[in-house]
Structure 1
Amino acid sequence: MAQDVEEISLRVPDSRSGDRIDRVLAGLVADMSRARLQTLIRDGQVSVGGRTIVEPRYRVNAGDLVHLRIPPTQPAILQPEPIALEIVHEDADLIVISKPAGLTVHPGAGTPSGTLVNALLHHCAGSLSGIGGIERPGIVHRLDKDTSGLMVVAKTDAAHRHLSAQFADHGRTGDLERGYLAIIWGAPERRRGTIDAPLARSPQNPEKMAVRRGGREAITHFEVLDTYSDPEGRPLASLIECRLETGRTHQIRVHLAHIGHPLLGDPVYGGGFRSKERLMSERQRQALAGLGRQALHAYLLALRHPSRDEILRFESDLPGEMRSLVDALTET
């Protein structure tokens, strides 16, 4: 059965006289994002005093009667797919999953299906209220295809807006925390440090990121948890924890390569360190080959729940292939 169009009528309060109509509606319609309301305005779904308004910048007056029509959520163009997911937490507002390495987050060029979004559309069938008017999960952050670990996804427009604000702040003033475990070549001179280096697309290869003057601010904090030596007692590799203060594409991978300690198994940013493999034992080389991807795992995620006054905190153990590599590196 087709869903009915939802209709809302409201009066502009005295305190909002002279304000933009999109801002007024965003303050009065709690479950909808301002971007979604702007789309409805442009689509002719909003009227003031019986006159259709199509410009989000339209200024309202105190006492104006605003009428809003909300069409039913449209089905997603993407197709649901029964892909197994490791669900860490789920409620009416959000879902937290532990993403395996090899799973792409969102369909794109060369990956039209078989993604996390396709899997979530199948898993959450009937429980998505619509993000931006489309029945789809709300992606508020991403992990590279070959990075494993914790991700949170919004199930409602309101949750998407709330979580997006937390990730935009990167935990600077709020409760968001993101922690990563990484295995890098060699050992940094200091046990703790901060990499503050702007990132932009590489001029030589637009599919890669690079540290570049004038790029977007990018800050990564790290701490060395353990160091593994080669047979001569020299630092071969280290296990480190990284915390993000910004969230740029490939940020950890580029930053660690920039300071001379790229991730083990990273074919894009760590290719120049393949010679280090000669210093490994046969077991260590086999473990690295078995890894088959960059040694990066999003192990920690903490955030404020979008509708309940509580902090959600999740931790994820190293996946088997990274644990096997650590065990091999630990051998004496």
Structure 2
Amino acid sequence: MEQSKTRKISKIYRALVNGILNQDKIIIKQPIGTMRYPGVAKGLQKPALSKVEVLERDSQLNQTLVQVEIESGRPHQIRIHLSFIGHPLLGDPLYDVGGQPMCFDSEHEDESFAEDGGYERPAKPVPGDCGYYLHAHQLVLSHPTKNEVIKITAPLPSILRTQAETEELM
């Protein structure tokens, strides 16, 4: 009998968060979103896992540079998970401490909310241009037929580099 291959895809991001994370490594398993199933009135929460590793702490600016690895990929997963642990992305206009949308209140009319998360729609939405510091840095996957590991790396913007990485470029 032929053994089945397990394909693993790992997505690694860099992020700059508010506050100082005390732990060097954190695993966040907070479920995100809801999947609807027949016979399950309210649906079931979708599992999500984020592995956070501190790269640098800047106590003067009260911010931490982190690397986040995810194997799944729920909409807004990293933003929600980091805010859930009390460290939202620096400049994130949407998620506040606790993983909840900042503008969630009863004054808004239904048509002002997006369908995928219950938060207020931005006036001029542009994907990736929301004012927060999150960058898809690496993608690691196994080739489907050659049994080789493929690693794709996107250059980091200067604000998401460690001091050592910045010095290497000089």
Q: Structure 1 length as normaliser, TM-score?
A: 0.33
Question: How much has 1:214 moved relative to structure 2?
Answer: 4.3
Question: Which residue matches 1:264?
Answer: 90
Structure 2: distance between partners of 1:215 and 1:323: 32
Structure 1: distance between partners of 2:131 and 2:151: 27
After superposition, the CA RMSD in angstroms is 2.8
Q: Structure 2 length as normaliser, TM-score?
A: 0.61
| 1:309 lines up with 2:147 in the alignment | yes
Q: 1:293 aligns with which of 113, 125, 131?
A: 131
Larger helix share, 1 or 2: 1
Q: 1:242 aligns with which of 68, 82, 88?
A: 68
Question: Which residue matches 2:19?
Answer: 186
Number of corresponding residues:
121
CA contact (8 A) 1:177 1:303 kept: yes
CA contact (8 A) 1:221 1:245 kept: no
Amino acid at match of 2:83: A
CA contact (8 A) 2:12 2:136 kept: yes
Question: Which residue matches 1:174?
Answer: 7
Question: How much has 1:177 moved relative to structure 2?
Answer: 1.9
Structure 1: distance between partners of 2:146 and 2:51: 30
Amino acid at match of 1:244: I
Q: 1:215 aligns with which of 14, 29, 45?
A: 45
CA contact (8 A) 1:175 1:311 kept: no
The aligned runs of 1:1-332 (5 Å cut-off) are 173-200=6-33, 214-230=44-60, 236-270=62-96, 293-320=131-158, 322-323=159-160
Instruction: Indicate the SS of the match to 1:256.
Output: helix
Aligned-pair identity in percent equals 34
Question: How much has 1:305 moved relative to structure 2?
Answer: 2.2
Larger strand share, 1 or 2: 2
Mark the CA change 1:318 to 1:256 in structure 2 (over 3 Å): closer, same or farther: same
CA contact (8 A) 1:198 1:214 kept: no
Structure 1: distance between partners of 2:69 and 2:45: 20
Could you list the per-position Cα deviations for residues 242-266 of structure 1 after superposition, in whole angstroms to 9, with x for gaps in the alignment? 1113211100000111111000121
Please tell me whether Structure 1 or Structure 2 has the larger radius of gyration of its CA atoms.
Answer: 1
Amino acid at match of 1:217: P
Higher relative contact order, structure no. (Cα contacts within 8 Å, ≥ 6 residues apart): 2
Question: How much has 1:323 moved relative to structure 2?
Answer: 4.5
- Which runs of 5 or more structure 1 residues have no equivalent in the other structure? 1-165, 167-172, 202-212, 273-290, 328-332
Structure 2: distance between partners of 1:306 and 1:317: 25
